[in-house]
Amino acid sequence: MSEITQEHFDYAANALHSLPFAKLIGMRLVGLKLDEAQISVDMRDDLRQPSGVLHGGVTATLIDTAMAFAVRTRLPKEEATATIDLTVHYLRPHLTGTFICTAKNVRAGKRIFTVSAEVHNEEGKLIATGLSTYTRV
Amino acid sequence: MSEITQEHFDYAANALHSLPFAKLIGMRLVGLKLDEAQISVDMRDDLRQPSGVLHGGVTATLIDTAMAFAVRTRLPKEEATATIDLTVHYLRPHLTGTFICTAKNVRAGKRIFTVSAEVHNEEGKLIATGLSTYTRV
Amino acid sequence: MSEITQEHFDYAANALHSLPFAKLIGMRLVGLKLDEAQISVDMRDDLRQPSGVLHGGVTATLIDTAMAFAVRTRLPKEEATATIDLTVHYLRPHLTGTFICTAKNVRAGKRIFTVSAEVHNEEGKLIATGLSTYTRV
Amino acid sequence: MSEITQEHFDYAANALHSLPFAKLIGMRLVGLKLDEAQISVDMRDDLRQPSGVLHGGVTATLIDTAMAFAVRTRLPKEEATATIDLTVHYLRPHLTGTFICTAKNVRAGKRIFTVSAEVHNEEGKLIATGLSTYTRV
């Protein structure tokens, strides 16, 4: 796959927006090109920890999901991927506003993909960063 | 804190069970002792990926949450913790039945905690393992 | 491979002890069984950081090496492996005495291996722990 | 510290070049500015694995060392740092020529630093990438 068409974007957006756990969190596909995917989430109260900040599990889920979409830009539609491992570093607590994850393939091999991700807030500040290994299944 | 009383367990269970994102996933505190916490989740359809297996974001959220409860067994009730980083390795796809995360403090420092976690299915098979750094805030 | 014979141990020990970078550090294979390898290093001055403690790069190298030997207990002698990724958590500074790494296959797949490791000092205290993904090449 | 002077560079270079384990590997400080350090290594035979490629422990040591120098650009000279954890992803085997690590502070807190690193070969190809948490001690 060498370019992302509107049809491909619509297919991916539909896949994300019909996924129950993505709906639960409120993920929206906002960008897709070869080796890169962007997904955003609007902050709301039930994504908070007791202390009031964004739950780290939401951040990890967002990163894992955006990474999977970046990997799939290299694969035929019907192929599945699996996360082998995921490392997330949390940099700043998030309180209000939309946050957006940009995931990029650092290296796309035949079977193994290394993917990085950054999550920014509306002011463009980095709130989390991640590094992951994926495989085709 | 040198022992976990029933009152402490009830306090922690209530904290978990009233947390919206934990309710969304369906987490239940099932064990708590000094340096260790156990949380279980019953598999259900809206925790699946398109391919039908458990979403890796749920696993990461479960691990992050159980780890935070393990860390807090070393801290006064009112103190908060923050995840500095989290690494999850996914070992087996999960399809049906309850899965349970056991998180343990590998090292409890004055400010910095290193925590490990394992997630098992009902047959006792390991489905994911994690390693993380926490801090008091 | 279902059991580690003396011949297999000697082959592995020889492979380690003739590897220049392992010699530079002073690694010795001290244990090998199916899915597990143990390598020890004697502390000496040129493994120290300026502050006097063991250099974290030595610990990471030791872990990576012991993990590779654990993985290879599942593979024919002539096959090579590659580290896909490695996460090390440093728990205690190390100053004197032998330290030993025990690496275990957490999951041995057809191509992908998840491996954990612990490094202990002579008193049995944990000084570092690691988690890694390997592949056959 | 808001700028790196020649004196500061010389101090750091001397610290690196007089460190036995750095000398063993052949590390050279080639760049230093606020929040960033660059260290290079010339490939040679005793840094290889049995298969002939660069040993992953060398890469991890190089990354850990460059990261420590990036962190120290934010600290008074006499202060020490400690690696809390380190994740390295290996992307390409390295066979010949100089390789160089660029480490950057992603976030510099009062006590906790998040640092990323990339290792490139002479053609500018990425051979490894890392993410790490450091602390002042």
- Prediction pTM value: 0.96
Q: Which pLDDT tens digit goes with each residue over D84-110?
A: 999 999 999 999 999 999 999 999 999
Return the H-helix or E-strand segment holding B32.
strand B27-33
**Residue C2 confidence (pLDDT):** 63
Whether residue C85 lies within 8 A of chain A, CB to CB, comes out as yes
Task: Note whether A87 contacts B: Cβ–Cβ < 8 A.
Answer: yes
Q: With CB atoms and an 8 Å threshold, state whether B107 touches C126.
A: yes
Cβ-based neighbours of B54, under 8 Å, separated by 6 or more: B43, B47, B48, B93, B94, B95, B99, B127
CB contact under 8 A, B87 and D84: no
Which residues from D are below 8 Å from B113, CB to CB? none
Q: Is B93 on the interface with A (CB under 8 A)?
A: yes
Q: For residue C1, what pLDDT is reported?
A: 52
If pLDDT is split at 50, 70 and 90, which confidence band does A6 have?
very high
Cβ pairs B/D, distance under 8 A: 19
Closest alpha carbon to C107 in C65, C64, C70, C62 = C70
pLDDT in tens, C60-105: 999 999 999 999 999 998 888 999 999 999 999 999 999 999 999 9
pLDDT of residue B2: 63
Contact D89 A133 (CB under 8 A): yes
D82 touches chain C (CB under 8 A): yes
Q: How far apart are CA C104 and CA C117, in angstroms?
A: 6
Residues A35-45 have pLDDT tens digits of 999 999 999 99
Residue B135 structure tokens: 């801090």
| Start-to-end Cα distance in chain D | 18
- pLDDT tens profile A109-136: 999 999 999 999 999 999 999 999 999 9
CB-count exposure of residue A8 (10 Å: 0-12, 13-18, 19+): middle
Q: Choose the weakest-confidence range: B17-21, B77-81, B111-115, D114-118.
A: B77-81
Compare all CA atoms of chain A with the CA of B64 and give the residue at the minimum distance: A57
β-partners of residue D107 are D114
Choose, out of A83, A126, A134, the residue to mutate when testing the contact with B (most B CBs < 10 Å). A83
> What is the predicted pLDDT for the residue at A1?
52
Q: What percent of chain B has pLDDT over 90?
A: 91
ipTM of the complex: 0.95
Whole-angstrom distance, CA of residue D27 vs CA of residue D25:
6
